[in-house]
Structure 1
Amino acid sequence: MSSWSIRLLALVLAMLPALPALAERCATDDAGETLCLAKPAQRIVTLSPGATELAFAAGAGEQVVAVVAYDDSPAEVAALPSVGSHSRLDLEALLSLEPDLVIGWISGNPAEQLETLESLSIPVFRLEPGDLSGVASAVERLARLAGSEAVGEGRARRFREGVAALAERHAEAEPITVFYQVWDAPLMTLNDTHWISEMIRLCGGVNVFGDLPRLVPRLDEEAVLAAAPDVIITGGMGEEDRAWLDDWRRYPELPAVARGNLFLVPPSLIQRPSLRLLEGAERLCERLEHARAQR
């Protein structure tokens, strides 16, 4: 082989590690649309706290250049500029950042503003995972778009393994009835299609309103009294806000009140679709185990 051929072969071999980064990257979002990027996204804007956490979990944190109001996790987001709130975007500020990927939230962001971004050739990837599997999948898909597959796939795998371990640990647990309170006025809960109900089932719990047709049903207090749940759980209005739980003490005949089974799980761990749902599920299972011991 000539020296020229050797140098050419060496050049080709040296380029091989870079070839995957040059390949087109495609992923299907939660709206069913497939988005393809010519190269990994380098300037990402996330338009909800959940989207932000998922992007960082996917290993794309260093590529996130802006977030929206009320983003609080991970700690690095405090240093990032805001482009408005999830419900009202500052499109001028967003466009000035020249993003090559915007991660939107289907039910949280104004559809017309996301469509405006797309009309300006800004790639938009819409998320809204509905269950624990969807959360892990979102991390993997974002990692593919950001070129951080090794990180994202590893974290998604550990999340799935943690969920499976909890399911196995509580597979034979004695069923216990649960009312999950989403809001107080009007009183609201969740049916069995929501990931919080999936977490309740994971821990051997039974959602007393799981069969209702609406995802977020409205109730009255009489319905809760009639259901007589063994446990009442809420995320409240803050990480340590137990006010809603204390309100139920007006009904000492409720099994959950009589047995002291009024539990708070911080909303950031149970109401926001991120990999931290695993920690939330672990806390939820601990509380249901405590409640079983009160019988």
Structure 2
Amino acid sequence: MTPLRASTIAGLALMLALGPAFASGAPAGSAAAIQVHDDRDRNVVLAAPARRAITLAPHATELVYAAGAGDYLVGTVRGSDYPPAARAVPVIGDGTQPDAERVAAARPDLLIAWQPSAAEPLVRVMDKLGVPVFYSDPLTLEAIPGAVERMGVLFGTEPVARATAQDLQRRLDALKARYAGRRPVRVFVQAGLDPIFTLNDASIVSDALRLCGGVNVFGQASIVAPQVTLEGVLAARPEVVLAGVGRPEDTQANLSAWQKMGLPAARQGHVYGIDADALYRPGPRLIDAAETLCADLDRVR
């Protein structure tokens, strides 16, 4: 994390002197109005709905906008590019190294973090300032509608958040009903091609696969993102290759590569690509990705 300059330290000292009332914008000693459990099972307390929040992960930014609270973001990290309005939110660094000076200058009343290891130095400062820290880390598709609703509570936008969450849940329920009992399809999740990396069943991508009746051929790997060999992939006999892609033409490149490597699924054209941000971020667009994925697997069936 970037070292603090003397001017920033002075500003932080002033905020410390003013205490949590400065951070929340609520009078000192006022009763806590909002309590929400985060994804680290911490009870996060706000004196009033957040109005100057900072997100430390792109998926958290998407959740905030889905809850109807995008106007209350005063900072985010590089890569927070969806919805398009998020591109106008000031950037305070990247997700692994947020800039403490920029965060302090934004005077947040809520910090929405993701990975504790990356956020910890900044969180220590926020704790001293009395700025609440909420950890967002949905691990399954079923957790996403609830994540949107909790954002609505944090920002006081419950009606919008509730409507969005209900729509997401309805779509999930429809996928469950439609694909329950379908023939399992063996899937290789391509997380990297040179060298070859994949994801195991602990990933939220595998949760989407399960919803669609897919079976991750490396689901039982001991680490979340293992490197595997071409021989290992061939031996696993996947019927489908699934990859997150940045551009539509990347899917054709993946198909050609796997065809050259002799993968039978590729010879049959069963190499599919889904927008990487939608597929890998645990946010509302993962429901979109799941709908596309389920349709892709049906092509194989």
Q: How does 1:51-66 map to 2 (within 5 A)?
A: 51-66=60-75
1:26 and 2:31 correspond: no
Measured after TM superposition, the shift of residue 45 of structure 1 is 0.9
CA contact (8 A) 1:231 1:255 kept: no
Please tell me the residue identity of whatever aligns with 1:118: D
Say yes or no: does 1:246 pair with 2:256: yes
Q: Which of 26, 32, 43 pairs up with 2:52? A: 43
| Pairs aligned (count) | 270
1:23 to partner: Cα distance: 6.3
SS in 1 for 2:272: strand
Alpha-carbon distance between aligned partners in 1 of 2:118 and 2:145, rounded to the nearest angstrom: 22
> SS of the residue aligned with 1:112?
helix
Assess if the C-alpha contact under 8 Å between 2:188 and 2:218 holds in 1: yes
TM-score, length-normalised on structure 1? Answer: 0.86
What residue number does 1:211 align with?
220
| Structure 1 position 105 matched with structure 2 position 114 | yes
Are residues 95 and 240 of structure 1, via their aligned partners in 2, closer, same or farther at CA, if it must alter by over 3 Å? farther
Runs of at least 5 residues in structure 2 that lack an aligned partner in the other structure: 1-30
The residue type paired with residue 74 of structure 2 is V
C-alpha deviations, 1:139-196, integer Å up to 9, x for none? 1111111111111122112111111101111113221110011122442212222221
RMSD of aligned Cα (Å): 1.7
Q: Deviations over 1:75-111 (max 9, x none)?
A: 1112221111111111111111111111111257332
After the TM superposition, which residues 29-178 of structure 1 pair with which residues of structure 2 at under 5 Å, given as runs?
29-106=38-115, 109-178=118-187
Secondary structure of the equivalent of 1:102? Answer: strand
- SS, match of residue 226 in structure 1: helix
| Whole-angstrom CA distance in 2 between matches of 1:174 and 1:68 | 41
Deviations 1:192-236 (A, max 9, x none): 222211111111111111122222222111110100100001003
- d(CA) in 1 for partners of 2:107, 2:246: 35
Higher gyration radius (CA)? 1
Unaligned runs of 5+ in 1: 1-21
Given the two structures, how large is their TM-score scaled by the length of structure 2? 0.85
Percent identity, aligned pairs only? 37
Q: Indicate conservation of the 8 Å contact 1:47/1:109, yes or no.
A: no
In structure 2, relative to structure 1, the CA distance for the partners of 1:124 and 1:288 (3 Å cut) is same
